[in-house]
Amino acid sequence: MLTVIAFLVALGLLIAVHEYGHYRVAVACGIKVLKYSIGFGKPIYTWRLKGKPTEFSIAMLPLGGYVKMLDEREGPVDPAERHLAFNTQPLKSRAAVVAAGPIANLLLAVLLYSVVNWIGLQEPKAVLASPVAGSIADRAGLRGEDLVRQAAFDGDALEDVRSFEDLRWRLTQGALNGRDVRLAVSANVNPQEADALPVKEVVLKMAELNASDADAQQFRKIGILGPWTSPLIGEVMAGSAAARAGLRAGDVVRRIGNTVIVDGQQLREAIRSSVSQGSNSTGAITQTWQLLRAGQALSLEVTPDVRLEGALGVGRIGAYVGAPPVFVTVRYGLFDGLWQGAVRTWQVSVLTLKMMGKMVTGQASLKNLSGPLTIADYAGKSASLGWSAYLLFLALISVSLGVLNLLPLPVLDGGHLMYYLWEAVTGRGVSDAWMGRLQRGGVALLLCMMSVALFNDVTRLFG
């Protein structure tokens, strides 16, 4: 139920803001707006504002909306009102009305990011777990419990890293842009002692990464999967490999075989790799675990279960591994928060366009396209985490909606802006014949994109 409510609220808000952008600018340009609708189909609720010609409505199907303006191309117009019709307006007014919808979504994203910056967000501290063996981070010399204090793309000035999510965002940008990332790291100690410690700089060679997918596999290649956590065993599932071995919640793992375990990420990697890979089968490897239970040393023989990830067998013990990370509160002042909200909106917009470009040219997988099922799933998950997470989700989707609508596809706002650009250059509008052809092509392309996104949704959620 939470997923459905969160999804409908998100859709309703984003559509309402988008259409209100069109409506508000149309009214400001002196255009008569006949109807403002959230959703399609039969109206559920309709109302009018006193003295206004516009009918407002909420319709049955909440998968879009529209603003209907007086227009000679859609029906007869009283000569006395011809100056109020959309099609009689100067080019700059028509372009402003069309562009206002996507711009409204981008401004909403700025506001949402700013609100989160102002109220503050609990995020994991930028303390690194042990990097994946052989990964970019491992080769750069990073180790478990390193505190990342500053970061920058190679050639830029270092900037403070406020949290692990801040670091992850920078790494995502570096991977997709193919830019190396410089990190300034030190030991993780009390803040009062940090300035007295030596800081070393390392460079993550992100340019070596073929970042066709912005997913977990890419972060495994980078080697930074999560923040540092204690190698603690949490809840143990009944009948699992952990339960069979005698592991209990609260056990702290110190060593597996001859390997000293320093954090939860290293422990998870040790469990994953405790599988023998044969030519025709995979089998679990029994290992001796040395641990502390209530301050007492203990040794147990642990044999993980084997699960397939694609064609690769990985170890699983059926228990939560790793204590919760250390959190910090990330909060900005009024103007800094607003500026950071604008910067994040710009960065996400550019990143979205670059990812779309990579998908068009085949440099990125079409698996990155998501549809309504994935959006609904994330809406429910983010809402369950609290207001800040949900607002961040809304901001991300608002940016995506704004950027998508600015694409030069004939059925989208960007397509209409493309027509107006042609009119500005040639002095004449696109002919009705060409308009029909472009509209049909745009619809076909949009349907293909929606089909791929829906297929990805089904595969991701039910595969």
Structural tokens at position 206: 């992100």
Rounded Cα gap, residues 383 and 387, in angstroms: 7
**Residue 19 annotated to the active site:** yes
Q: How far apart are CA 231 and CA 263, in angstroms?
A: 5
- The residues of the chain scoring below 70 in pLDDT are 188-197, 210-217, 277-282, 310, 363-366, 368, 371-373, 376, 378, 457, 460-463
In tens, the pLDDT along 101-156 reads 999 999 999 999 999 999 998 889 999 888 888 889 989 888 888 899 999 998 88
Q: For residue 123, which of 163, 84, 85 has the smallest C-alpha distance? A: 163
Burial of 301 (0-12, 13-18, 19+ CB in 10 A): exposed
Residue 239 burial class via C-beta count within 10 angstroms: exposed 0-12, middle 13-18, buried 19 and up: exposed
Tokens 């279960």 sit on residue: 305
The pLDDT assigned to 225 comes to 84
**Start-end of H helices in 322-371:** 334-361
Name the nearest CA neighbour of 118 among 332, 394, 330, 328. 332
Tell me: the pLDDT tens digits for 325-350? 888 889 999 999 999 999 999 988 98
Catalytic residue among 19, 81, 208, 235: 19
Q: Max alpha carbon distance in the chain (Å)?
A: 92
Paired residues of 58 in beta bridges: 38, 45
Tell me whether strands 121-124 and 159-160 are parallel, antiparallel or unpaired: unpaired
Helix axes 413-426, 91-119, angle to 10 degrees: 140
Amino acid 282: pLDDT: 58
- Tell me, what's the pLDDT at 279? 41
pLDDT at 335: 93
pLDDT for position 196: 54
How many angstroms separate the first and last alpha carbons of the chain?
Answer: 22
Do residues 246 and 324 make contact, with C-beta atoms less than 8 angstroms apart?
no
> What is the rounded distance in angstroms from the CA atom of residue 62 to the CA atom of residue 416?
23
Give me the domains of the chain, ranges plus CATH numbers.
Answer: 89-120+333-463 (no CATH), 136-222 (2.30.42), 233-321 (2.30.42.10)
